[in-house]
Structure 1
């Protein structure tokens, strides 16, 4: 069977139920909904039992195969749900999945759930066996430009209508949090007019600001070079009462990591080696690499001095507003420098 998008899944299930499904993606709501759709189709086909397995350290893969080969006391068909949180079954798991796919049982439906799988995982033998035997459902995240359309479709499914301004306002409020968007749409169903019309005023009055403000989100946006979003997140952290020391800790730690990597690169080390030495995970390498293209070693050293100055301001040892200086530090990490290096040095005195 071919790869399926989430929007193709329902029609494919109505035509044929595969013995194995692999649902992969990093958007929890969409992954959950795809799994729900598969389970519902399986229940209609007589798979009334459901057995869940979570792959963790020491997981017994023989247990999965034994369960697949054992008949229920009532001879009911069952769904075997296998959740692999790191997306890597390992050697034993790969062999077990290959063995299962060689002779899938008509009494079982195997549903495998993983995070987004990279190219290496999709070239593995176990993945190719699963894809050949069943179906691979790849869940793509909803990008910011696509979010208004997604919200509009969801509102229509809920029997609601809204103009573009109301949809854009809702999209801005939830800031990519699909679960929050779904919850707010449910709330709006109770507040809409009898004809299902949702106005901008209704959204403004009813929808809570569900944007996720946290220090790690702040760091990621700054590394990406998205100064506007980084500052918005910083303001959100301040509004939520976050301690300035926590924000400074996160910014200073990231700047030290970048400085360490910049020094290693100057010494002729490869990006992979520099990242490994600095403790940077593979998933974060693109973000860090993006920042290092903008920020050179002298700038990073200056940012470390500025971070030290912010620390003194927080402790009352400098006559400066800590949050104003955190904003400047965040802008600098995002690649925005409002002052010349000479003037910046003077500002630290």
Structure 2
């Protein structure tokens, strides 16, 4: 049978247990949750004992087979869990697993947990035997494009709500670490009101004691106060703020300004565009001044620069992310005429 994605596992478990389960993947949180679901379903079905084996090069597969085939006057339904950290099964293991799957005992359930399997491993006889008598759960990593949707689903499962900007910020902070994302959601659950997670709450949770904050940085840049914006950026860096959070705040504002600039060029009123872009009434004067100061082509350039900073932060291109953020802040503040090094020198010298 085809391998089962984790999101379909609970439905399959609801239809009944199979004799064996193989959970494979390199995403620890999703692997652990899949195993938890299998164990929970097995307990509900009367499997009251669990025998755990960590399989290494010296593992004696005969010990497993002897335990599986031994009978007791007080026999209990038992889960045999094999954790194979290196993902390798030798010839003895190959034969033992085939033997087990030929006639799996009714009172036993086999759970095998491994890292991502190679194509060669999936062609092995032991894998085919497990696939024939049981269920294979293949855990794939969550891609950056999938992460916002995954976070939105987890937030809803926690009984919370969040807007797309907040989810994007949370994704930027936790990309590549789903366990950290789940922990953040649990923490935010204690901080939010009316079950709604706002961007302010997420940004504040980054560093509650920070003397500088990303929203102050954005406002100073929009105001055209380059010197104050640079000072705030230095403060954020010194406080240990994640560069992805700073970039998120700047990029969000640049996208909003770009939408407004495009609308104004097409004859729409500022109030109408600002309202559709989610600009709060108290920020309209600040955003309006920035929209008059920055042209559409300049904002498109800033969006391209923000994309470059994102690649630098992720290690996809060489460079210093904080130097590039400095350039982005200066440009958003209206300083385009000088090169970035000269800009930084002129602003740091008083």
Q: Same fold (TM over 0.5)?
A: yes
- What residue in structure 2 maps to residue 56 of structure 1? 56
Give the match for residue 159 of structure 2.
159
Rounded Cα–Cα distance in structure 1 between residues aligned with 2:27 and 2:137: 13
Name the CA shift for 1:233/1:196 in 2 (closer, same or farther; >3 Å). farther
Counterpart of 1:269 in structure 2 is none
Distance 2:72 2:161 in 1: 47
Residue 53 of structure 1: SS of its match in structure 2?
Answer: strand
Gaps of 5+ in 1: 214-225, 240-322, 325-349
Distance in 2, Cα, partners of 1:2 & 1:42: 22
Contact kept, 8 Å, 2:3 with 2:138, in 1: the verdict is yes
Q: Take 2:88 and 2:139, find their aligned partners in 1: how far apart are those partners?
A: 17
107 and 227 in structure 1: CA distance in 2 versus 1, 3 angstrom threshold: same
- 8 Å Cα contact 1:175-1:212 kept in structure 2: no
Q: Does 1:230 align with 2:229?
A: no
CA 1:127–1:154 in structure 2 vs 1: closer, same or farther (change >3 Å)?
Answer: same
* Residues 1:90 and 1:235: Cα distance change in structure 2 (over 3 Å): farther
**1:45 aligned residue:** 45
Structure 2 residue 90 is matched with structure 1 residue 90: yes
Deviations 1:108-134 (A, max 9, x none): 100000101111110111100000010
What does 1:333-348 correspond to in 2, within 5 Å? none
Corresponding residue for residue 202 of structure 1: 201
State the alpha-carbon separation in 1 of the partners of residues 18 and 243 from structure 2: 38
Q: Is the 8 A contact 2:243 2:313 kept in 1?
A: no
Following superposition, the deviation at residue 228 of structure 1 comes to 4.7
CA distance in 2, matches of 1:33, 1:149: 18
Could you say if the C-alpha distance between residues 80 and 163 of structure 1 is closer, same or farther in structure 2, counting changes exceeding 3 Å? same
Structure 1 residue 58: deviation in Å? 0.7
Could you give the per-residue CA deviations for residues 210-268 of structure 1, whole angstroms, max 9, x where no partner exists?
A: 9899xxxxxxxxxxxx54522899869xx9xxxxxxxxxxxxxxxxxxxxxxxxxxxxx
Partner Cα distance (1:96, 1:211) in 2: 50
Instruction: Tell me by how many angstroms 1:74 deviates.
Output: 2.9
CA distance in 1 between counterparts of 2:124 and 2:242 reads 37
* Alpha-carbon distance, 1:72 to partner: 5.0
Residues 160, 85 of structure 1: alpha-carbon distance in 2 compared, 3 angstrom cutoff? same
Cα RMSD (Å): 2.6
Distance 1:7 1:13, change over 3 A: same
Q: Does 1:169 align with 2:169?
A: yes
Query: What 5-or-longer segments of structure 2 have no aligned partner?
Result: 208-239, 245-310, 325-350
Contact 1:86 1:115 in 2 (8 A): yes
CA distance, structure 1, for counterparts of residue 54 and residue 159 of structure 2: 37
User: What is the distance in 2 between the residues matched to 1:196 and 1:190?
Assistant: 9
Matches within 5 A, 1:18-29: 18-29=18-29
How far did residue 175 of structure 1 move?
Answer: 2.0
Describe the SS at the equivalent of 2:35: helix
> Aligned equivalents of 1:233 and 1:75: distance in 2?
62
Report the TM-score, using the length of structure 1 for normalisation: 0.61
- Which is greater in Rg? 2
Contact 1:79–1:108 (Cα < 8 Å) also in 2: yes
Equivalenced residues, count: 226
Q: What is the CA–CA distance in structure 1 between the aligned matches of 2:242 and 2:135, rounded to whole Å?
A: 34
Kindly report which structure 2 residues correspond to 1:83-232, keeping only aligned pairs within 5 A, or say none: 83-193=83-193, 195-207=194-206, 227-230=312-315
Q: Distance in 1 between matches of 2:206 and 2:35?
A: 28
